Structure 1
Amino acid sequence: MYERTQSHISLRELDHESHQKIDRPYELLHVLEFSSSRRRMSVIVRNVENQLLLLSKGSDSVMLERLSKNSQDFVAVTMDHVKDALIEAAADEIERDLILLGATAVEDKLQIGVPECIEKLENAGIKIWVITGDKMETAINIGYACSLLREDMEQIVITLDSPEIIELEKKGDKEAVAKASRESVANQIRRGTLLLSSYEGRSVSPALIIDGKSLSFVLSQNLEGSFLHLAVSCASVICCRSTPKQKALVTRLVKKGTGRTTLAIGDGANDVGMLQEADIGVGISGVEGMQAAMSSDFAIAQFRFLERLLLVHGHWCYRRISMMVCYFFYKNIAFGFTLFWFEAYASFSGQPAYNDWYMSCYNVFFTSLPVIALGVFDQDVSPRLCLMNPELYKEGIQDILFSWPRILGWILNGIICSVVVFFFTTSSAVHQAFRGDGRVVDFEVLGVYMYSCVVWTVNCQMAISINYFTWMQHLVIWGSIAFWYAFLLIYGAFPPLFSTTAYQVFVEACGPSPFFWLGTMLVVVSCLLPYLLYRTVQTEFFPMPHDSIQKWQRETSDGRRGKLREKDTLLCK
C-alpha cells in the first residue's frame, strides 16, 4: 500500500500476466472493526473491474475455520507444515548435556492485602468467582496466591485440550469439532456433579476451573443449568481465558440463575461489560486506566478497600435501610390507626380527630428528621469490630433484619401503640375534669392530647432503637418534639379564620393542665414497654451476632478506642 485517502486505497501489486508491478486503486466501502471476541478484522472494497472483495486478517484458529470448502487443501498443506511432534523430538535431541548458568523468575504480584481481603469476604459468606483472561496455569497460581485454592482442595477442571479434539481441529472438520466439544464439556460437568455427591458432609468442597473454550460451549449449547448447579456447589470457581463478552455472560448467568445479588470488580477495559451486567459494579482505578472506574457504581483505588466497602459500609447500609423501612411502617401505623379508632368511637360520623395541618405536618416536620439521621449516621458496631468480625455481614445475606417476621413485628408494635394512645387518652380525659376551671375535654383538645402522645411515642421509639448517638441525633429527635409544641403556639396564635380548631388550644387548655403532661408521660411509657420487654428478652436469651459484639463493646473498659485482643476476635461465631 503506497497511498490512501478517506475513500480509496492504492496497492502496488504484481501482475500475473506481465509479471510487472502495477498500481491498482480500490474503493474502500466498509471496515469490520477488530474486537477481542471476534479476533479478526475485514474490509470491503471495490476494484477497477467493479468486483466486490472482502479482505480479512486474524488469528489462524479463527481464519482457517472460515475458509471455503475449495480451500481445505490449502488448510491441509498449511497444517502439514506444523510438525510439532517432530520439532519437539529434534529439540529434545539438541538440548542435552547443558551447563546451568542461572535462573530467572517473573512474578506478577498481587496488590497489598488481597489474600486477607478475600479470606474475610469468604468468612462473611460471600461466594467468590474469578473470571480472568489469563491462561489456566496463571489463573491457578493466582487462585493459590489469593487463598481461593488450597492444597487440601480437589480441583474439577473442565477443558477442551484433549488429544481427540486437537486431532479433529487439525483435520478442519468444524461440525465434528463442535459436536465432540459439546459432548466433552457435558461429560466433564456430569463427572464433576458425581464427584460433588461424594463430598456431602465434608467441610471442604472442591474447586471448579474452566477454560474459555469450554465456557463458550456452556453458554451457547444449553448447558447453563447443569454448569450453574455444579459451580454454585463448589467452594471456588475460576474461569480462565475468558473474553470480555464471556465475563458479562457468566455474570448474567449467575444473577438470573440464582436470583442472588452479584458484585463484579475489575480494573481494565475488558471488565466494563461485566461491571455493567452485575447488580453492583466496583471499578479499580490505576495502571490499566479509568475505563472500569468510570463504568462502575463505586470506584476504589485498591482491591483491599473492597473489604471496608462491604463489611463496614455494606453492613451499616443494610441495617440503616432495614430499620428505616420498618420504622416508616411503625410510625405511620401508630398514627393512622388512631384515626381509625377515633372514627369508630365517633360512630363513623366524619368528625376529624386532628386538625388538617396536624396531619399534613406529621411526616414532614415532626417525624421525618429522626429517620433521616438514622439512615445517615446510625452504626450498630464500630468500623474496627466490623472488620474483625466479618460474620456480621451474614445478617444481610440471611436477611435477618428485613424478614417478614421482623416487618410484621414492627407493624404489630405500631398497632399496639395506637391502641394504647387512643384508649388511654379517651378513657382518662373524656369523663374527667381536664382544665383548671373543671371543664372536660372537647374534640379539639382530645386531638391535641392524642397527637402529642403519638409524636412523643414515635420519637422516643427512635431514641431507644438507634445505636449511635451524637449531638445530631439528640437535635433531631428532641427538636422534632419541641417543634410540635412551637407549632401549636405559633399556629394557635393566628385568628380562628386561619387556625380554625387550633386557636389558642395549647395556651388555654393543654399547656396549663397538669393532667395533659402527666397523661402524655404515662402513655409514652406504656407504649414503649412492650418493645423494651421484647428487646430485653431477645438480647439476653436469643442474642443476634451484633448484640454479642455490642455487649462486649460496652463491657470492655477501653471501649471503641481500645485494642481488641487476639482471643476476642470473631465474637459472633
Structure 2
Amino acid sequence: MSSDVNIAQFRFLQRLLLLHGHWCYRRISMMICYFFYKNITFGLTLFWFETHSSFSAQPAYNDWYLSTYNVFFTSLPVIALGVFDQDVSARLCLKNPNLYAEGIENILYSWPRILGWMFNGLCSSMIIFFLTTSSLKHHAFRSDGRVVDFSVLAATMYSCVVWTVNCQMALSINYFTWIQHFVIWGSIALWYIFLLIYGTLPPTFSKSAYLVLVEVCAPSPLYWIIIIFVVFSTLLPYFAFRAIQLRFWPMPHDVVQLDRNRGLKVKQIRDANPLPYIRDLALVLFLIQAL
C-alpha cells in the first residue's frame, strides 16, 4: 500500500541519528562490555579458588550466592545504564555531529575495547582473590580467637566482588540521577539484606552462610578494612588507564566532555562529518516511499 509522505518529517532524522543513535550505540556497547567484565570478575574468582584448593571440587561460594549474583546484585545497574546513560547532553550531541561517527567507525564496540574490558575483569578477579586470601590468612576473625574458616572467606570475597563491580559501574557511568544512585548503592545494600535474612535461616538451609554476617563479618573491623582496601586496589588500574587516555588519547566524546567541564565553548569537530550519511539515508527513504 502507498501513502502520502510529508517531506518535512525528514528533519527529524537529524535528532534521531545524531542524538538517539549516538546514545543508543554507546549504551549498548557499554552494556555488552560491562557484562563481560562483571561475569569474568566473578567467574574467575571461582577458578582461582579451585586452583588454590588443588581442584578439590569444593565450591567457593554458597549455592544461593551463585544463583543471585546476576539476578539481584548486578542486574539493575546495567539496566539503568542501558536506559538512562548520556555521555553528553542533547544540545552538545546535536552541536557536534562527529560524535555520531563513533558508531560508524565502531570505536566503542571494537575488539580491542572488548578485550580490554575482559582483561580488566581478569585483573580484577586476581586482585580480589589473592588480596582477600592473603589478608585473611593467619588472622583471628572471631571473638574467641578462631581463625578464618571457609564460610568467612566466601562471604568476604563475594562482598568484594559485589562492591567492585558496582563501583566500577559508578566509575563508568556518565549521567547520574537518583535512579543510578539507587540501583548501584541499593544493589550493594541488597546483598547485605539478603545475607542477613538468609543467614538467620536454619543451618540445614543456609548451610555455610548461617549467621556469618551477624556473628562474624559485621562485628569485625578487619572485614570492612579488607573490603575498602580490595575495592580501591581493584579499581585503581582502570582509574589510571582512563586518566592516561583522557590526557593523551581522548575519544571524540571525551573532548566534548572536557571542554564542557572547563567551561569553554565547545568546538565543532569536522574530522568525520556524518551529515552526508544522513542525507543519503533521507534520499533512500524518500525513494522507497515514492515507489
Q: How much has 1:510 moved relative to structure 2?
A: 0.5
Equivalent of 2:19 in 309, 312, 316: 312
Query: What fraction of aligned residue pairs are identical, expressed as a percent?
Result: 68
Q: Does 1:449 align with 2:156?
A: yes
Secondary structure of the corresponding residue to residue 460 of structure 1: helix
Q: Structure 1 stretch 491-500 or stretch 524-533: which is displaced more? A: 491-500
Q: How much has 1:289 moved relative to structure 2?
A: 6.2
- C-alpha offsets along residues 324-372 of structure 1, whole Å, 9 cap, x if unaligned? 0000000000000000000111111111110000000000000000000
Kept in 2: contact 1:379–1:468 (CA 8 A): yes
C-alpha distance in 2, partners of 1:307/1:522? 47
State the one-letter code of the partner of 2:89.
S
User: Which residue of structure 1 lines up, in the alignment, with residue 268 of structure 2?
Assistant: 570
Equivalent of 2:2 in 269, 272, 276: 269
Kept in 1: contact 2:48–2:129 (CA 8 A): yes
Equivalent of 1:348 in 43, 47, 55: 55
Kept in 2: contact 1:392–1:572 (CA 8 A): no
C-alpha distance in 2, partners of 1:404/1:440? 45
Q: How much has 1:440 moved relative to structure 2?
A: 1.1
Q: Does 1:330 align with 2:37?
A: yes
State the one-letter code of the partner of 2:261.
R
C-alpha distance in 1, partners of 2:270/2:202? 61
State the one-letter code of the partner of 1:487.
F
Q: How much has 1:438 moved relative to structure 2?
A: 2.0
Q: How much has 1:569 moved relative to structure 2?
A: 3.4
Q: Does 1:552 align with 2:285?
A: no
Distance 1:301 1:353, change over 3 A: farther
C-alpha distance in 2, partners of 1:520/1:301? 58
Equivalent of 2:9 in 298, 302, 305: 302
Distance 1:572 1:381, change over 3 A: farther
Kept in 2: contact 1:315–1:396 (CA 8 A): yes
Q: How much has 1:496 moved relative to structure 2?
A: 0.9
Q: TM-score, normalised by structure 2?
A: 0.90
Q: Does 1:509 align with 2:216?
A: yes
User: Which residue of structure 2 lines up, in the alignment, with residue 467 of structure 1?
Assistant: 174
User: Which residue of structure 2 lines up, in the alignment, with residue 410 of structure 1?
Assistant: 117
C-alpha distance in 2, partners of 1:508/1:532? 35
More helix by share: 2
- C-alpha offsets along residues 455-476 of structure 1, whole Å, 9 cap, x if unaligned? 0000000000000000000000
C-alpha distance in 2, partners of 1:436/1:511? 12
Secondary structure of the corresponding residue to residue 304 of structure 1: helix
User: Which residue of structure 2 lines up, in the alignment, with residue 541 of structure 1?
Assistant: 248
Q: How much has 1:572 moved relative to structure 2?
A: 6.7
Distance 1:394 1:491, change over 3 A: same
C-alpha distance in 2, partners of 1:474/1:549? 24
User: Which residue of structure 2 lines up, in the alignment, with residue 430 of structure 1?
Assistant: 137
Q: What is the 5 A alignment of 1:51-66? A: none
User: Which residue of structure 2 lines up, in the alignment, with residue 83 of structure 1?
Assistant: none
Count of residues in Structure 1 that have an aligned counterpart in Structure 2: 271
Q: Structure 1 stretch 491-500 or stretch 460-469: which is displaced more? A: 491-500
Larger-Rg structure: 1
- C-alpha offsets along residues 259-311 of structure 1, whole Å, 9 cap, x if unaligned? xxxxxxxxx928xxxxxxxxxxxxxxxxx169xxxxxxxxx981111100000
Distance 1:374 1:434, change over 3 A: same
Kept in 2: contact 1:549–1:571 (CA 8 A): no
C-alpha distance in 2, partners of 1:541/1:529? 18
Q: Does 1:364 align with 2:71?
A: yes
State the one-letter code of the partner of 2:241.
Y
State the one-letter code of the partner of 1:392.
L
Kept in 2: contact 1:425–1:450 (CA 8 A): yes
Gaps of 5+ in 2: 272-291
Gaps of 5+ in 1: 1-267, 271-287, 291-299, 558-564
C-alpha distance in 2, partners of 1:301/1:320? 29
Equivalent of 1:388 in 81, 95, 111: 95
- C-alpha offsets along residues 189-215 of structure 1, whole Å, 9 cap, x if unaligned? xxxxxxxxxxxxxxxxxxxxxxxxxxx
Q: TM-score, normalised by structure 1?
A: 0.46
RMSD: 1.7
Distance 1:387 1:289, change over 3 A: closer
Secondary structure of the corresponding residue to residue 120 of structure 2: helix
Kept in 2: contact 1:546–1:572 (CA 8 A): no
User: Which residue of structure 2 lines up, in the alignment, with residue 476 of structure 1?
Assistant: 183
Secondary structure of the corresponding residue to residue 302 of structure 1: helix
Q: How much has 1:431 moved relative to structure 2?
A: 1.8
Distance 1:411 1:572, change over 3 A: farther
More strand by share: 1
C-alpha distance in 1, partners of 2:103/2:256? 16
Kept in 1: contact 2:27–2:82 (CA 8 A): yes
Q: How much has 1:323 moved relative to structure 2?
A: 0.3
C-alpha distance in 1, partners of 2:129/2:138? 14
Kept in 1: contact 2:97–2:269 (CA 8 A): no
- C-alpha offsets along residues 485-513 of structure 1, whole Å, 9 cap, x if unaligned? 00000000111121111110110110111
Q: How much has 1:547 moved relative to structure 2?
A: 0.4
State the one-letter code of the partner of 2:268.
L
C-alpha distance in 2, partners of 1:455/1:492? 18
Distance 1:444 1:382, change over 3 A: same
Q: What is the 5 A alignment of 1:111-150? A: none
User: Which residue of structure 2 lines up, in the alignment, with residue 232 of structure 1?
Assistant: none
C-alpha distance in 2, partners of 1:313/1:438? 59
